[in-house]
Each structure stands twice: as C-alpha cells, then as structure tokens.
Amino acid sequence: MEFDKNLIGGSTVLLILSLLEKTDRYGYEIIRELELRSDKAFQLKEGTIYPVLHKLENDGYVKSYKAEGERGRARKYYRITENGKKKLVKEKEKWNKFSISVNKVIGGELYAFN
Amino acid sequence: MEFDKNLIGGSTVLLILSLLEKTDRYGYEIIRELELRSDKAFQLKEGTIYPVLHKLENDGYVKSYKAEGERGRARKYYRITENGKKKLVKEKEKWNKFSISVNKVIGGELYAFN
DNA sequence: TAATTATACATAGATAATCTAGGTATAATT
DNA sequence: AATTATACCTAGATTATCTATGTATAATTA
C-alpha cells in the first residue's frame, strides 16, 4: 500500500493533530472531543490515545506541558509544533487521496461536510 | 472504535467486494484493477490479497472456481454470494460514516467522484 | 534452446496499530 | 466512607498488512 498504517490502520494521527491545530488539548479531552464531533463514531480508548500522544511527542510533532484542571487529576496538555503542522498537511493529503480512491472503487458518492 | 479493523485497518474487504459486485475476478486481477482505478494509490500485495480472499470464501461471502487463462497459470475466479452482497452494503455504510466523520474532524472538504 | 520475464496462486513469519485489561491519582458526590 | 468522574499510564493480546519465499505455466529474449 502507498498509505502507511498510520493512515489506513489508523487515522488517529490525522485526527489528533487536526484537533491540536486549533487549540491545545489533553488526552482525555481528545477522546471526548472526537466522540462528540463524530457523533459517537470515534470512540478511541485510552490505551490507544496515550501511547500515540507519547509517540507524537517523541517524534517532535507535539510538545506537552502540565496544567491543573478544575476536576480530578492534573492534566497534560499537548501543543502542536511546527513539524507537527507540516506532518498534518501531509496526513491530510494522504487522507484525501485515500478517500477519493476508495470512493472511485466503490462507486463514488459525494460526501459533504455538515 | 465503532469501526472494526476490517474497515479502519483495512478497507480491503470493502474494495474487493465492490469489484466483485460487478463481475467475477481472480486475485491477481483484483490487485491490478485496484492499482488502475486508484491511480496507483492502492498497491495491495499478493501476501495481503490471497489470505483475505480465502477468509472471505471461508466466511461465505464469495465462492471460487477454477478457469484457464490465456497466459500463465490457471486462474481462480471469485464470485460474490448473496451474503457477500449484504456484507458489502454494511461495509459501504461503515465507510460512509467513517469518512464523513473524519472529514468533520479535519475540517470538512468535499470529495467528488471523478 | 536455455534463461528470463510475466502471469498466477500460496503461506509462514515479521511488523505495527488498536484494544483489553489492568493500574495509579485526585476531587466531587452519594 | 464508598462511589463516581476525571485523568494519566502501560503490558500484553489481537489482528491486518507486508516481506519474503516458494510453486507452476507460458511467452519472450538472448
């Protein structure tokens, strides 16, 4: 496949970086946000998201910092880096090519944002 | 995730059944056809496609039969079954929900068939 | 005519993404 | 005091795809 598993097997990197593009967020929040925005289609597990965030930080695409929340335990916020923004552009391009290709094969409906 | 890995990790089942919906095909042909239709975006390996076809047959979604080709070794054609057609409908629905959700999260462009 | 190439099928083991299942820590609610 | 919600973390299981290799047949090339 031309698409690596980060996209096909997992669009998680694309989704996480997309959220971080607009504002800093913490892991737990990302899960809730994805659930909300996707109408419950995305229900990422904590066991999925935290290792991905660690890898993203390790790869230099995001940078974390600690901050207190109103409730519960202290939060670890993630901010997208310049490299992360470049990565996001590439991931979006891959997703576009991938989804267009799938639609070509399966018959090609039209999908609008709403 | 609501989407099982057959879709997220692999849209192969969706792609293969979509091709078989129109006409019977053999494995090697499916690889070439996907490559062609996707403008080289999909370049499935034989090590991927044959095990998937075997599983699809085992699950009753396709049925195979032998036939001679013009060149090379004898071909093994696959025909989609009634259960396979039902499966395809579900896989398409999942793909639609998935791609719409991704587009909502990443900003929502519009993707047309062409 | 011998070697190579293209076609065509097949499988074992490696790799990697996600999930399961457990754990820790803190504050609010019951 | 116990439970619930928030918030983080990781080890191991599961599974999809790829890598690598092998077999078989016919056409092409040297």
CA B78 from chain centre, in angstroms, equals: 12
Asked whether the predicted pLDDT for residue A6 surpasses 50, the reply is no
CA dist A58 and B38 (Å) reads: 33
**Which one of A17-26, B35-44, B98-107 scores highest in mean pLDDT?**
A17-26
Q: Which amino acid, residue B96?
A: N
Q: Band of the pLDDT at B93, cuts 50, 70, 90?
A: confident
The answer to whether A65 and A20 have CB atoms below 8 angstroms apart is: no
What local confidence, expressed as pLDDT, does residue B11 receive? 87
Rg, chain B, Cα only: 15
Contacts of A97 in chain B (CB under 8 A): 41
Whether any strand C atom is under 7 angstroms from the Cβ of B87: the reply reads: no
Who's near A87: CB < 8 A, 6+ residues apart?
Answer: A13, A17, A61
> pTM here?
0.85
> Is the CA virtual torsion A101, A107, A113, B3 positive or negative?
negative
A41–B113: do the CB atoms touch at under 8 Å? no
Cα–Cα distance list, B8 to A5, A7, A19, B2, B21 (Å):
10, 9, 19, 10, 21
Reported as a single tens digit per residue, the pLDDT across A45-68 is: 898 899 999 999 999 999 999 987
Reported as a single tens digit per residue, the pLDDT across A69-82 is: 777 789 999 999 99
B99–A99: do the CB atoms touch at under 8 Å? yes
State the CB neighbour count (10 A cutoff) for residue B14. Answer: 21
A41–B11: do the CB atoms touch at under 8 Å? no
3-class DSSP assignment, residue A78: strand
Residues B81, B86, B91, B97: what is their CA dihedral angle, to the nearest 10 degrees?
160
Query: What is the phi-psi region of residue B85: left when phi exceeds 0, alpha when psi lies from -120 to 50, beta otherwise?
Result: alpha
Q: Which amino acid, residue B58?
A: N
What local confidence, expressed as pLDDT, does residue B114 receive? 27
What local confidence, expressed as pLDDT, does residue A66 receive? 92
- % of chain A at pLDDT higher than 70: 85
Reported as a single tens digit per residue, the pLDDT across A10-59 is: 689 999 999 999 999 999 999 999 888 888 888 888 988 999 999 999 99
Both tokens of residue B40?
A: 């080289």
Q: Closest partner residue to B102 among A15, A106, A109, by Cβ?
A: A15
Whether any strand C atom is under 7 angstroms from the Cβ of B75: the reply reads: yes
Who's near B71: CB < 8 A, 6+ residues apart?
Answer: none
What local confidence, expressed as pLDDT, does residue B38 receive? 83
Q: Band of the pLDDT at B108, cuts 50, 70, 90?
A: very low
Both tokens of residue A17?
A: 């970086």
Protein residue minimizing CA–C1' distance to C21? A47
Reported as a single tens digit per residue, the pLDDT across B67-85 is: 877 777 899 999 999 999 9
State the CB neighbour count (10 A cutoff) for residue B76. Answer: 15
B83 vs chain A: nearest CA distance in angstroms? 18
